[in-house]
Chain A
């Protein structure tokens, strides 16, 4: 439905997007993740035809977005945008939400009906008469979402839609996004810096790094099989090591990482230089070696650092190589762990993603 082909965008001297090529299919929830200032907003603006690419082309249903002003308006009327920092126009909430319908010359009873429906969807019943410029950030965000939904867009563009929202509103908006996609087949394109949100919502994820596309794929591919070091770092794969395959027995390889042997499933042949990736959540700690485990790896070592992270604990462990692991705070307490404790780090051969280094 939307096709970027070698798209670059510069504002004056400043290049903000460089050589992007990807396709967004109809009915998908397509998420851009990446650090702020990497051009995610510009991508959404390009799709909304608020900007044109400096080079390359963007096709919507096969048609280039470099068209007359009139045709741009027609394209825009098929979509809606919720900007990261939505703007309130003078007047009340009702008038703000009704704006898109007014531009489309919708009849006033229909406007009345659809605006109250949209306000209901975002949980702002009874807000119609409120002055829009006096709303809080979260309320305005929801007004902006209602304003975007009221025109029943085929394509919904959301720029960090829940950045200003409390957890309850965030959940509500996420459920709304999922139900729009299910009920109406709306193509939803969103940008977020929240990995977990990307994982919860997206059919496919694009990682934007250094003004270009790092990787496109489903959430398993992005989070467990990162293509390179930069993508891995971005999506929270904290264990990244360079190593050499010392043997490979029918897909079960032993990889030497600075003298520490690690067993991983991969097809790379003996002697290959590889990079291995492992998520910190995939490491299990054992205190003492009791019983047998199906996990192929069990490395002894000591905990060198403990960082609390909400309900979890993030730990660094020296096991010849420095591993990063995340376990729940409850396990941490029950195992009686602390800095300096001796433990075994256990992980499955299949938890490791191995990528052959390019020569």
Chain B
């Protein structure tokens, strides 16, 4: 019991004293997950827009697959990207395995389906009457799509924030693709996993508190956006 209390005290000390390693891991986590979320948004929002505004065969099936992928286990995404990037894999020549870039790819794969789904929900939340209004005011197809996406911007942003939450909190893909290399690919979640198994409780708790704080921030941001 004492150990845990001591761990807590030391953890707070680590955070308050701005321990360089803690800061470095936190910064890397944020950068990788933000990058993954940004890339995922650039891919997912247009895909969501395309699916929403175009009629094509198999649309329903596609949407169902996307929804299933919301629950894609992070280790499976990690394994998939690992195989792609491994030396014998199709993208092995890029040399991205065990690099932060590889981790960005892994987390992007995790976030894209969720964000496509959230974009679809956001766009279908815009009333049909608004689309009619926009078209009848003389909008071209691209002006129409742009205006409707803008109309749904807060709901889409909610999806982006949710996607970031998934990226920063996952451990499977980061571990498999990044390899948890100290000072290079070690992020909050992989560090916690390692340090805990090594008995470094204080360090783990410190990182855990930070991760929770980030989660709290994300949730608050989501709440504020949805209030709009």
Interface residues of A (CB under 8 A from B): 48, 50, 69-70, 73, 76-77, 80-81, 83, 85-87, 89-90, 99-100, 103-104, 147, 151
Contacts and interface: CB of A to CB of B under 8 A. Distances in A.
A87 B147 CA distance: 14
Main secondary structure of the interface of B (DSSP, over half): helix
Nearest to B143: A103
B132 interface: yes
Contacts of A70: 140
Contacts of A104: 138
A69 B141 contact: yes
Contacts of A83: 129, 132-133, 136
20 contacts: A48-B136, A50-B132, A50-B135, A50-B136, A73-B138, A73-B140, A76-B137, A81-B136, A83-B132, A83-B136, A85-B129, A86-B133, A87-B130, A87-B133, A89-B130, A89-B151, A99-B147, A103-B138, A151-B137, A151-B138
A48 B134 CA distance: 12
Contacts of A151: 137-138
Residue among B127, B132, B138, B147 with the highest chain A CB neighbour number at 10 A = B138
A80 B143 CA distance: 17
Contacts of B151: 89-90
A131 to B, nearest CB: 11
Interface string B105-145: 00000000000000000000001011011111111110100
Contacts of A81: 136
A134 B98 CA distance: 53
Contact of B136 (A69, A80, A85): A80
Counting from the closest, the 5 A-B pairs by CB-CB distance are A77-B138, A100-B137, A87-B129, A81-B136, A87-B130
A89 B147 contact: yes
Residue among A69, A90, A147 with the highest chain B CB neighbour number at 10 A = A90
A104 B127 CA distance: 23
A86 B133 CA distance: 8
A126 B3 CA distance: 67
Contacts of B133: 83, 86-87, 89
A73 B135 CA distance: 8
A99 B134 CA distance: 8
A119 to B, nearest CB: 16
Nearest to A96: B133
A140 to B, nearest CB: 11
B21 to A, nearest CB: 45
Contacts of B141: 69
A145 to B, nearest CB: 13
Contacts of B150: 90
Nearest to A153: B138
Given A87-B129, A100-B137, 9 more contacts: A73-B140, A83-B132, A83-B133, A87-B127, A90-B150, A90-B153, A103-B140, A147-B137, A151-B137
A327 B140 CA distance: 55
Contacts of A69: 141
Contact of A80 (B129, B137, B147, B153): B137
B134 A76 contact: no
Nearest to B132: A50
Nearest to A74: B138
Interface string B20-62: 0000000000000000000000000000000000000000000
